Amino acid sequence: MNPFADRLDALRDQDRLRSISAWPGLPGKHIEREGRRCLNLSSNDYLGLSGHPVVKQAAADAALRFGAGAGGSRLLGGGLPIHRELEEAVAVLRPLGKTLLFNTGFMANHGALQALAPVLGTIFSDKLNHASMAEALRSLPGAFHRYRHRDLDHLRSLLDAHQGAGPGLVCTETLFSMDGDIAPIDGLLELQARYGFWLYLDEAHSTGCRPELVSPALAAGIASGRILIMGTFGKAYGGFGAYLSGPVDAIDWLVNAARSFIFSTALPPAAAGAALAALRVAEAESWRRQKLAEVAGHARELFARRGFVLGPTESHIVPVIAGSDRAALRISQALFHAGYHAPPVRPPTVPEGSARLRINLTCEMEKSEIDALADEISGALDESANEAGDG
146 to 117, 126, 171, 174, 231: CA distances (angstroms): 15, 6, 9, 16, 22
Which residue among the candidates 45, 126, 179, 202 is catalytic per the annotation? 202
Which residue among the candidates 130, 291, 298, 341 is catalytic per the annotation? 130
Question: Is 130 an active-site residue?
Answer: yes
Rounded distance between C-alpha atoms, residue 13 and residue 17, angstroms: 8
Which residue among the candidates 52, 98, 205, 316 is catalytic per the annotation? 205
Q: Strands of 227-232's sheet, edge to edge?
A: 98-102, 242-246, 227-232, 198-202, 169-173, 123-126, 144-147
Given a contact cutoff of 8 angstroms between Cβ atoms, the answer to whether 359 and 42 are in contact is no
Question: Is 149 an active-site residue?
Answer: no
Question: Is 352 an active-site residue?
Answer: no
Question: Is 173 an active-site residue?
Answer: yes
309 to 73, 136, 303, 322, 365: CA distances (angstroms): 46, 32, 8, 8, 22
Question: Is 190 an active-site residue?
Answer: no
* Among the listed residues 386, 283, 282, the one whose alpha carbon sits nearest the alpha carbon of residue 334: 386
Which residue among the candidates 235, 298, 316, 341 is catalytic per the annotation? 235
Question: Is 29 an active-site residue?
Answer: no
Which residue among the candidates 44, 109, 206, 384 is catalytic per the annotation? 44
Which residue among the candidates 40, 50, 110, 173 is catalytic per the annotation? 173
Which residue among the candidates 50, 177, 206, 360 is catalytic per the annotation? 177
Alpha helices in the chain (DSSP H): 5-13, 53-66, 81-93, 105-120, 131-138, 152-161, 185-195, 215-224, 248-257, 259-262, 269-284, 287-305, 325-337, 367-387
Longest Cα pair distance anywhere in the chain, in angstroms?
A: 64
Rounded distance between C-alpha atoms, residue 213 and residue 37, angstroms: 35
Question: Is 235 an active-site residue?
Answer: yes
DSSP 159-174: HHHTTTSSS-EEEEES
Give me the phi and psi of 243, to 5 degrees please.
-150, 160
Residues annotated as part of the active site: 44, 130, 173, 177, 202, 205, 235
